[in-house]
Amino acid sequence: MLSQTSPQTPPPPYQGLLARYGSLLELPPHTTPITLLEGNTPLIPVPRLAADMGGGFELFVKFEGLNPTGSFKDRGMTAAISEAVGKGVKTVICASTGNTAASAAAYAARAGVRAIVLIPEGKVAAGKLAGAVAYGAQVVQVQGSFDDALSLVVAISQKHPIALVNSLNPYRLEGQKTGAFEICDVLGSAPDWLCLPVGNAGNISAYWMGFKQYDELKNTGLPRVLGVQAAGAAPLVLGHPVEKPETVATAIRIGRPARGEQALQAAEESHGQIIAATDAQILAMQKRLAAEGVWVEPASAAGLAGLAEHIRTGALNPTGKRIVAIVTGHGLKDPDIVTRDLRPTVLPAELGALEETILR
Ligand code: F0G
């Protein structure tokens, strides 16, 4: 149940995730909060989309694209940067398909420290690259995949005083647990199913940790977890690394997920599953979600694309269930995917021509 606040007593101002949930996160005492007031994202009911999938169940999307840098990465980044800066770190580094880079760059800027981001050459969406540059990070393109870039940043952070802020950093997961807390706080309990995209597998691992912790504390129950990879980058479904991952969902174009084992464990423990969705299914779901007014980047639609297919084939019976889909990043991150085939109607600036075009 949502709590009601009387108009005379406005709620205290929102101060970000560490202020709200810090006591539930395993962060060292030296942690010094660096925040952009991330989190607190809306859980939007999408009944028409549920009806399209056959109906008879409740469906919500948690719109993580409304975080300060446009993706869920800000949850983990506030924790990781706060810990690093509190320890006296002056430089942070990450490998990224784009969103982690933009988030690390923003939080490093907020803290006044240096950020270096390694991205796979030519495979990062425009809005993410622009973000990393705008926030002042040093952007390095690697002639290789995300997995190659991750190996490099792990090696350099072991050799030099540079803090790694990929989700191998345990504090990233601590921060990302808060997504699970928020869902339980809004719904009053965990949903029956949680579906979300899987790339490097940090987020699915963090959500499962968060739901388990909240259940122990508050008896909120546990969801079954449906993780969805892109079919061309589905090592956890195939059971082996993918050397040359390919997908239109560049955010999850990852062949060797760093948290792969933990993700498989989350799926197993929760009696869920990790499945794959094709690029066509992902793009169709991106379009379908936009028709609800929720525009997300392709990767963010993967969870729902997998859910729809699982329901269609009868692998998942949603009847009477409450399902939450994490939609991880904003559509503005990857404008090209939408505009690449755009042929706008061009008219002379005349009323008659406009009438002819739109009233026909
Ligand atoms: N959705 C989006 C929009 C992402 O950017 C990512 C990961 C994921 C889903 C998957 O999350 O890796 O925790 O399983 N992006 C990383 C990055 C890899 O570098 O921005 P995951």
Going from N- to C-terminal start, the domains of the chain cover 17-70+172-339, 73-169
Rg of the chain in Å (alpha carbons): 21
Can you tell me whether residue 105 is helix, strand or coil?
Answer: helix
Using pLDDT thresholds of 50, 70 and 90, give the confidence band for residue 2: low
Question: 311 is written with which tokens?
Answer: 């329901």
Q: What is the mean pLDDT of residues 35-57?
A: 98
Sequence letter at residue 93: I
Q: Percentage of residues in the chain with pLDDT exceeding 90?
A: 94
Contact 169, 207 (CB under 8 A): no
Q: Is 73-169 assigned to CATH 3.40.50.800?
A: no
pLDDT at residue 162 greater than cutoff 70: yes
Q: Please say whether the structural domain 17-70+172-339 has been given the CATH code 3.40.720.10.
A: no
User: 300: CA distance to ligand 1 center in Å?
Assistant: 9
pLDDT confidence bin for 173, thresholds 50/70/90: very high
100 CA: nearest ligand 1 atom: 20
Under 8 Å CB-to-CB from 291, ≥6 apart: which residues?
none
Which residue reads 């990790």 in tokens?
274
Averaged pLDDT, 168-174: 98
Angle at which helix 202-218 crosses helix 178-187, to 10 degrees, equals 50
pLDDT for position 6: 63
The per-residue pLDDT for range 122-141, each reduced to its tens digit, is 889 999 999 999 999 999 99
Residue 296 alpha carbon, nearest atom of ligand 1:
3
Is the pLDDT at 90 greater than 90? The verdict is yes
Residue 254 CA: nearest ligand 1 atom is 18
Of the pLDDT bands very low, low, confident and very high (cuts 50, 70, 90), residue 53 is very high
Take residue 145 and report the two structure tokens written for it: 């995949």
Q: What is the pLDDT of residue 126?
A: 93
Please classify residue 13 by burial: count the beta carbons closer than 10 Å to its beta carbon, then call 0-12 exposed, 13-18 middle and 19+ buried. Answer: exposed
Ligand 1 center to 120 CA (angstroms): 14
Site residues for ligand 1, CB cut-off 6 Å: 71, 73, 96-100, 167, 197-204, 251-252, 297, 299-300, 328-329
**Distance of CA 267 from the midpoint of ligand 1 (Å):** 17
- CA quadruple 67, 70, 72, 75: dihedral positive or negative? negative
Question: 179: pLDDT confidence band, cut at 50, 70 and 90?
Answer: very high
Domains 17-70+172-339 and 73-169 share a fold: yes
* pLDDT exceeds cutoff 90 at 28: yes
Q: What percent of the chain lies above the pLDDT cut of 70?
A: 98
Tokens of 238: 């195939």
- Give the pLDDT of residue 359: 95
Q: What is the mean pLDDT of residues 310-330?
A: 98
